[in-house]
């Protein structure tokens, strides 16, 4: 299992990724996550030709540094299909999702993480959400099969979310919903991404990972206090890391150990960020070695 980190641990929107690739690799990370979501607004202003050149450049830098992209956080819709970010609608978001798959292929990575979502702000049934998300993600199958890039659907969180005192359900916040959606899509290029921080906020036992079994293709490793999406390094919050690592061992997880813990590094002064990165790599290695 390679240790990996999202490049967003250093970069911000509309900034070159070269520096982040070089510094993460030299800190000890063998693999990298390319966070397309953090660049989503920037990408929407690019032509495909410009995006293609941007991705090719990032791949060239990674290859030169001996790093390998193995995961991407894909574009994000927003709260529902009916209320998307950046003025997107379902058709334009589909176009962006397809572009992200092609960008992933250029980067050479096998899995893009996506969120399932609600159809509208209304409290529609789980059956309606299952049907709509199934129909949407099936539209990606042709480009997935063409490129060999798969999608890993992520567990979300809704425990603390209410509107006017009414609980606001996020689809796939419960593992049973995530498993049902993956199994309904029923495609070898569809799997799951487990976000340890989302699960902690949801109040889930991390042993739930074992229910995912071989569906699990990607990880978002981060910690928090159980109430906020803090994106901290392991042991800086309340996640049960023994349960996480024991569960990964139990299912024979074959993917990377990938951080989405950017806030633990971004908060540091610039002169300490490389030290923080090296510590985070050592911490990841320590955890991975517990199941070696």
pLDDT tens-digit series, residues 243-271: 999 999 999 999 999 999 999 999 999 99
pLDDT-derived band of residue 123, with 50, 70 and 90 as boundaries?
Answer: confident
Contact 149, 159 (CB under 8 A): no
For residue range 23-65, list pLDDT tens digits in order. Answer: 999 999 999 999 999 999 999 999 999 999 999 999 999 999 9
Mean local confidence (pLDDT), 177-190:
98
pLDDT tens digits along 216-232: 999 999 999 999 999 99
CA distance 119 to 272: 44
Residue that has been written with the tokens 């899995």 in this structure = 111
Q: Which residue is listed with tokens 């569906």?
A: 215
* Residue 33: Cβ within 10 Å count: 28
DSSP-assigned states of every residue in 242-287: HHHHHHHHHHT--S-EEE--THHHHTS-HHHHHHHHHHHHHHHHHH
The more confident residue out of 277 and 161 is 277
d(CA 176, CA 186): 15
User: Greatest CA span in the chain, whole angstroms?
Assistant: 53
Q: What is the dihedral of CA 42, 47, 48, 54, to 10 degrees?
A: -50
So what's the pLDDT on residue 15? Answer: 63
The predicted pLDDT at position 13 comes to 57
Closest CA to 7 of 266, 187, 254, 275: 266
Give pLDDT tens digits for 70-95: 999 999 999 899 999 999 999 999 99
Total tally of structural domains belonging to the chain: 1
CATH assignment of the domain containing 7 = 3.20.20.150
Q: What is the mean pLDDT of the chain?
A: 94
Q: Which domain holds residue 95?
A: 3-289
Closest CA to 76 of 40, 51, 104: 40
94: tokens are 């589909």
């Amino acid at each position: 299992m390679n240790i990996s980190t999202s490049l967003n641990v250093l970069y911000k929107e509309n900034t070159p990724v070269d520096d982040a690739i070089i510094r993460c690799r030299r800190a000890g990370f063998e693999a990298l996550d390319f966070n397309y979501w953090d660049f989503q607004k920037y990408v929407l202003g690019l032509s495909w030709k410009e995006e293609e050149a941007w991705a090719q450049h990032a791949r060239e830098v990674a290859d030169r540094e001996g790093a390998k992209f193995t995961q991407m956080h894909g574009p994000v819709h927003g709260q529902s299909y009916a209320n998307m970010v950046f003025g997107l609608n379902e058709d334009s978001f589909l176009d962006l999702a397809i572009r992200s798959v092609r960008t992933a292929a250029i980067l050479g990575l096998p899995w893009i993480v996506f969120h399932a979502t609600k159809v509208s702000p209304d409290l529609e049934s789980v059956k309606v959400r299952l049907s709509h998300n199934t129909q949407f993600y099936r539209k990606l199958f042709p480009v997935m099969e063409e490129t060999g890039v798969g999608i890993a659907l992520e567990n979300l969180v809704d425990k603390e979310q209410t509107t006017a005192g009414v609980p606001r359900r996020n689809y796939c916040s419960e593992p049973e919903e995530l498993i049902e959606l993956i199994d309904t899509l029923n495609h070898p290029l569809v799997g799951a991404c487990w976000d340890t921080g989302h699960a902690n906020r949801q109040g889930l036992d991390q042993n739930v990972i074992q229910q995912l079994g071989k569906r699990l293709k990607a990880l978002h490793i981060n910690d928090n206090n159980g109430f906020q999406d803090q994106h901290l390094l392991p042991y800086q919050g309340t996640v049960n890391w023994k349960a996480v690592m024991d569960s990964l061992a139990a299912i024979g997880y074959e993917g990377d150990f990938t951080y989405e813990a950017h806030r633990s590094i971004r908060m540091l002064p610039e002169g300490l960020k490389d030290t923080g990165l090296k510590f985070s790599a050592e911490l990841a290695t320590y955890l991975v070695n517990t199941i070696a």
